[in-house]
Every structure is written in structure tokens, then in C-alpha cells.
A and B are shown apart, each in its own frame.
Chain A
Amino acid sequence: MTALPAQPLPTDRRRLRVHDAAIGDRIYEIVTTVCALVVPALVVAIAIAILAAAWPAFSKLGLSLVTSSDWDVGAGKFGAAPALYGTLVSSAVALVIATPLAIGVAIFLSEFSPVWLRQPIGFLVDLLAAVPSVVYGLWGIFVLVPMLRERVMPFLRDRLHLGSTPFFSGPAYGPSMLAAGVVLAIMALPYISAVSREVLIAVPRSQREAALALGATRWEMIRDAVIPYARSGIIGGIMLGLGRALGETMAVTMVIGNRPEISASLFAPGYTMASLIANEFSEATNDLHLSALMAVGAILFIITLIVNAVARWLVWQVSRGRAV
């Protein structure tokens, strides 16, 4: 890039082209750098805006925001513990249901499925991610909740005698933590399954052939050679599904029963942070109420950050400890 004397000769095209390309590279670099910086800046700006709006609630209510279960707008009490609990529990229930199913689908598609079946099943599973959440909510109200109330809950409680444990006791209204967990499971499933399928397919053939050559059965080959290889990718997929479950609002609001109470039973109605905000924001006029809702948003934001950090750490741990 040293300055050259002007070259008036039109014959020297080569040098000119090199010069052009260098400018193009430079512009390209600047554009992509700006793109790369704008996104993190946006995240930081959003975080600052939410925290600023939430500050009055944090400073006035302090820890009682997350430790108290008393959410009483009229009395100026804002304890979001039930919503925090509900967010975590409904997402956990979702993962417990979705993970085995999603990994099962992924293993079938990558290892057992005839090639002609792979595309249609994969497509249908991916399609689950494209269904708008309000549609899941409607399906939840009209199909899932009555089914849970009339069949699944009595079956779990009375036939399997799980009613003697605190987790499946109490009256079966229908709208419940369990209903929210099932809907979230269906919504998180395509994310987990799609990522797992891709990483399983990406496991090198040599890995499989080596295991088989050592006399492994097909099951042993998948368990000992394929899944460990794909483990970090699968965990990444699960975390993606968890992220989806934590933030889901509409479908959960429609089936969870919106009751701000902590109950061990999955049959009892519950509440989530996202539902709380969606329910109360539009009619909130009092400053502290608005600020408390912002604070709930900030806490949700922090939880998703923690989940992502944990996911990073897990993936890193797993890929470091892997004997490949």
C-alpha cells in the first residue's frame, strides 16, 4: 500500500485491478465489522434500557421481588417468586419430556431410517417449529387440557398411584404446570431434534465402522461411538430448546392457569414470568407496578443469560473431556 507514482499508462491494468480489490476488501471488512458490533451493542442497549426501567422496583423492593410469593398490585406488593418458579419448572418439565423424544427421533433418522423416509419425517418435525405459538395455545385449550383433565391426570394419579407423591396430587382442573410443560415440550422438540440430527449425521462413517469392526452391536455402536462423539452438539440443541421454553409466552399463558402460587404438584395451576408480563403490562398505570414488571423482564433476561453461559460451559466441558 505504499504510494506509487501516478501511472498514466492505460496498459497497466493488472496493478489497477489489485488496487480496486484492496478497496473492496477494506469496505467489506468495515461493513462486516459494523454488523458484528451492532448486534452486541443492541443487546447491551436493551439490557441497559430494561435495567434502567426496572431500577425503581429493584431499589424499592429489593430481594423480595424474587423471594416473596405475594403479588398484590392493589397493596403495592410485588413478589414474583411463583412466576420465577413456574418458568423454571415448566421449562424443566418440557425438557424432561422433549429430550428423549427428540434424541430418539434424531437417532432414528440418522441411523435406522430408510433414506426415503428421512426427508418427510425430518420435514414434519421441523414444521413443528414453524407453527405459531398461539396455535399451540388454542390446541392446548381445546384438545390437550381436556385430555389431561379427563384421561391423563386421573390415570397418573389413580392408576399409577402417583397421587401419593406430592408431584401428582390434588384436583385435576386441566390448566396446570403439566399442561404448560407438555405444550413447551412440543415447541422445544423440533429445535433439539434438528440440531441433534445434524450432528449425528455429521459423525464420520469411520467412527461407526470402527465400532462395528470391534464387534459392537448396532445399539452399542450408537451408544458408545456415535452419541459420545455428538454429545456437545446434542447438549447445544437441548439448550436451544430450553431457551425457547423459558421465553415462550402466549401458549403458556393459555394453558398454565395463571395462578401465582408455588405448588409441588404438577396438576396445580402456576404462572411464568413471561405470562405475568404479558397479562399485566397493558393495564399497568402505577409506576411501581410498571417498574416491577420491567424487573421481572430483567430477571428473565438474566436467567436466559445464565442458561446460555451454562450451555457454553457444558459444551466446552464435554468437548474437552471427550476422547476423540
Chain B
Amino acid sequence: MRALTVAALMVFAVACAKENANQSATSSSTSSSGQSVDLTGAGATFPYPLYSKWFSEYARLTGVKINYQSIGSGGGIRQLSEGTVDFGASDSPMSDEEMAKAKGGPILHIPTVLGAVVITYNVPGLAAPIRLTPKAISEIFSGKVSKWSDTRIATLNPGVTLPNSDILVVHRSDGSGTTYIFTDYLSKAVPAWNASVGKGKEVKWPAGLGAKGNEGVAGQVKQTPGAIGYVELAYAKQNKLAVAAVENKAGQFIIASVPAVTAAAAGVAKTLPPNTDYRISIVDAPGQDSYPISSFTWILVYQHQKDAVKGKKLVDFLNWALTTGETEAAPLDYAPLPAEMAAKVRAKVATIDLAGTK
């Protein structure tokens, strides 16, 4: 009798847990109608400061309220695939496999702004930014160059006295779009890196130690003499970190800046086929002024919107973001899309089909 009650309760509890999971999955969309939130989105943390500014401004202008949860690109992709949010956001494009699993049909990648990754370091006594080539970066991050005085760094920096101290590599320990951009760059620019480590939001690092978040990496680098790491451009600028000049494809050493990142996108945009799905990487971009370690960040939407009213609101917002919104990016250290490219992306937005209108 007693065992039976326990068993019954267990079944009940499991059933409750299932019920809850289902509810929490749908709650974001149901609560949206109840609390006058018009659109819900989830995803990348990197563009969140800009997106939240966009959403509050857009609500003020049009009364359309957008609720965005910055739970990470992975979470954004998962929630969009399940159809629990109206749009997702990601720092890395979805794979074909992920696209195929989405329950609502084909997904469009809408690039919004650009981010860049910079190399920050802590070498006491250096005045000018240190100069690095992709090859040197890959050798440092794979542990092959382990002293600052190594000739492979010294020859790039004539006239600079580098200390004979150990290099401590600091990378991200959490899965992150920043790591994706950085490893995507090294994979494209350095064949040896591509063959050994590859690219991903988390990779198997051959050397160094991991720290959580941009702030973790920056904190570790700031505190440890001899350390080197990589962080988002916006984070480095706002915290005035020492950053390296990186050699681009044209052989120029470029310090990351908003215009240098937009220039990289412009260089790539020229070569895009007209029917591109914008799942493109712009690392190691051509062009004299291009900063080579940069990437789009995307808003992800379903091409076929089931709810015509919501779909219309989403399209209107995207058009606003790609015009007025772009002008607000630079003050927050995000690089806007090159103007001609923004126009092409708006043409892509126009292909979103709203149920009932077609």
C-alpha cells in the first residue's frame, strides 16, 4: 500500500515536471499576448546592449514592444527551432543540420551589425601596440611560441625590447561567439591551425587556461604579466585594454576600430552573389583598411510567418533596424553594415512571406 502511494506520487511528479516543461516552453508566447508584449526574441549576448537600445527606442517610436532574452546564441537557436520565440539572434551562422531541425521551416539570416575580436596582452613596459601576423597569433595560441622574446614575435616588432618572460595564453572557457570568430579567423588565415584546432564556439585549446566571459579573460590578462587573450572590440574599447595591431590580407597592420570593421564587411560584400543567404564569414577580409578578425551578428527569423500581424511587426522592425538602427551602432562600438549592403539585406527582409498576404 505504502509502496503504491510512493509510486503513484512519483508518476504524478514526473507528469508534473513534463507539464511544466511544456508550459515554460510556451509561456513566452502566451504571456506576450497577455502583457502587451508584441514580439519575443532570444539569443546572443554580444549584441544585447545595442539591441536593448533598439528595442526601447522602437517601442517609444511605434509602441511595438519587443522582449529579448540574452541567453546566448545556442539558446536563441534552440528556442527559435522550437518555435517558442518570434526571432532568434546568433553570433555564428546556423549549420545546415540546425536549419533542417527548425520546426517552422526555412530560416533567414539577417545580418544586423558587425563585431570584432581584438588581441589583448599584458607586457609591462611596452609603449606602442605590439604587431602580430596571423601565423604568429596561431603559434602563440597553440603554445609553439612560448616566450615574448621569441624571434617569431621580435622580427615583427623591430626596435621593441620584448621581455624574456613566458607567454600565458588565456582563452574563453564558456562557449561563445567570440571564440567562434577568433578560431574561424585562424582557421581561414593559417592552414596549420585549421588542421589541428579548427573552429567552433568551443574548441580543444592546445595551450593556456580558460576564463569565463570577456570580463574573465580581460581580468586574467590584466593581472598576469606575460598574458595574452582575445576579447570583443566593444569590451576592449570601453575598458581601454592594450590591443595588438594585426596584419590583414593586404599586409597592413591594423588596429581594430569601427571603420576598419565596416571596411572589412564592404570588401566582402562586393564579392557576394545576389542570392546569398548571408551565412558568410568575413574574417581575413580583403582591402587595405580591413581589420581581419570580424564577423556579422545575425537576427534569425522564419521565412514563412504563421501569424500575419506578428510577421508584419517583425518585418517593420527589421527595416527600421537596418536603416535608423544602423546609425546608433557606432557610438556603442558596434560596426554598422556598409550602406549598400544594408540595402541588399532589406531586399532579403522583403522576401519574408506573411500568412494571409500570399
| Chain A residues proximal to chain B, CB less than 8 Å | 37-38, 40-42, 44-46, 48-49, 70-75, 141-142, 145-146, 149, 171, 173-175, 253-254, 257-259, 269, 275, 278-280, 282-285
CA distance A259 to B173 in the complex (A): 8
CA distance A177 to B140 in the complex (A): 24
List residues 171-227 of chain B with CB under 8 A from any CB of chain A: 173-177, 198-205, 208-212, 216, 219-220, 223-224
- Interchain Cβ contacts under 8 Å between A and B, 11 examples: A38-B13, A40-B6, A46-B17, A73-B202, A74-B200, A174-B223, A258-B211, A269-B210, A280-B202, A285-B73, A285-B74
CA distance A269 to B306 in the complex (A): 50
Residues on B with C-beta less than 8 A from A278 are: 174, 212
On whether the beta carbons of A42 and B209 are closer than 8 Å, the reply is no
Q: Is the interface of A mostly helix, strand, loop or mixed?
A: helix
Residues on A with C-beta less than 8 A from B72 are: 282-283
Residues on A with C-beta less than 8 A from B208 are: 259
Closest to A72 in B: B204
Please provide the 5 A-B residue pairs with the shortest distance between their CB atoms, ordered closest to farther. A283-B175, A258-B210, A258-B173, A282-B72, A257-B209
| Minimum distance in angstroms from B346 CB to a CB of chain A | 28
Residues on A with C-beta less than 8 A from B82 are: none
On whether the beta carbons of A285 and B98 are closer than 8 Å, the reply is yes
| Minimum distance in angstroms from B116 CB to a CB of chain A | 19
On whether the beta carbons of B201 and A145 are closer than 8 Å, the reply is no
Closest to A176 in B: B209
On whether the beta carbons of A141 and B219 are closer than 8 Å, the reply is yes
Assuming the contacts A285-B77, A285-B78, asked whether A37 and B204 have C-beta atoms less than 8 A apart, the reply is no
On whether the beta carbons of B200 and A175 are closer than 8 Å, the reply is no
B256 at the interface (CB under 8 A from A): no
B100 at the interface (CB under 8 A from A): no
CA distance A283 to B204 in the complex (A): 15
B5 at the interface (CB under 8 A from A): yes
CB contact between B216 and one of A42, A46, A74, A254 (< 8 Å): that residue:
A254
CA distance A275 to B216 in the complex (A): 14
Residues on B with C-beta less than 8 A from A74 are: 198-200, 203-204
CA distance A174 to B200 in the complex (A): 27
CB contact between B13 and one of A45, A73, A253, A280 (< 8 Å): that residue:
A45
Residues on A with C-beta less than 8 A from B17 are: 45-46, 49
On whether the beta carbons of A173 and B223 are closer than 8 Å, the reply is no
Residues on A with C-beta less than 8 A from B211 are: 175, 254, 257-258
CA distance A283 to B174 in the complex (A): 8
Residues on A with C-beta less than 8 A from B176 are: 283
Additional 16 contacts, C-beta under 8 A, given A72-B203, A175-B209, A284-B175:
A37-B5, A73-B200, A74-B200, A173-B209, A253-B212, A258-B211, A259-B205, A269-B210, A278-B212, A279-B173, A279-B174, A280-B202, A282-B75, A283-B72, A283-B174, A283-B201
On whether the beta carbons of A149 and B204 are closer than 8 Å, the reply is no
CA distance A197 to B259 in the complex (A): 64
CA distance A72 to B183 in the complex (A): 14
| Minimum distance in angstroms from B221 CB to a CB of chain A | 12
Assuming the contacts A41-B13, A149-B224, A285-B98, asked whether A259 and B210 have C-beta atoms less than 8 A apart, the reply is yes
- Which of B12, B173, B198, B223 has the most CB atoms of chain A within a 10 A radius of its CB? B173
- Which of B77, B176, B209, B223 has the most CB atoms of chain A within a 10 A radius of its CB? B209
B277 at the interface (CB under 8 A from A): no
Residues on B with C-beta less than 8 A from A174 are: 223-224
On whether the beta carbons of A44 and B13 are closer than 8 Å, the reply is yes
On whether the beta carbons of B210 and A257 are closer than 8 Å, the reply is yes
CA distance A258 to B174 in the complex (A): 9
B168 at the interface (CB under 8 A from A): yes
CA distance A284 to B201 in the complex (A): 9
Closest to A146 in B: B223
CA distance A50 to B173 in the complex (A): 24
List residues 213-262 of chain B with CB under 8 A from any CB of chain A: 216, 219-220, 223-224
CA distance A141 to B71 in the complex (A): 25
Contact indicator per residue, chain B 50-94, by CB within 8 Å of chain A (1) or not (0)? 000000000000000000000111110110000000000000000
Closest to B97 in A: A286
CA distance A141 to B212 in the complex (A): 12
| Minimum distance in angstroms from B200 CB to a CB of chain A | 4
Assuming the contacts A45-B17, A175-B209, A258-B173, asked whether A283 and B223 have C-beta atoms less than 8 A apart, the reply is no
List residues 138-194 of chain B with CB under 8 A from any CB of chain A: 166, 168, 173-177
Closest to B200 in A: A74
List residues 286-327 of chain B with CB under 8 A from any CB of chain A: none
Residues on A with C-beta less than 8 A from B220 are: 141, 175
B9 at the interface (CB under 8 A from A): yes
On whether the beta carbons of B203 and A284 are closer than 8 Å, the reply is no
Residues on B with C-beta less than 8 A from A280 are: 174-175, 202
B350 at the interface (CB under 8 A from A): no
Residues on A with C-beta less than 8 A from B13 are: 38, 41-42, 44-45
CA distance A173 to B223 in the complex (A): 10
B128 at the interface (CB under 8 A from A): no
On whether the beta carbons of A41 and B9 are closer than 8 Å, the reply is yes
CA distance A304 to B77 in the complex (A): 33
CA distance A84 to B130 in the complex (A): 39
Residues on A with C-beta less than 8 A from B200 are: 73-74
Residues on A with C-beta less than 8 A from B210 are: 257-259, 269, 279
CA distance A265 to B174 in the complex (A): 24
B14 at the interface (CB under 8 A from A): yes
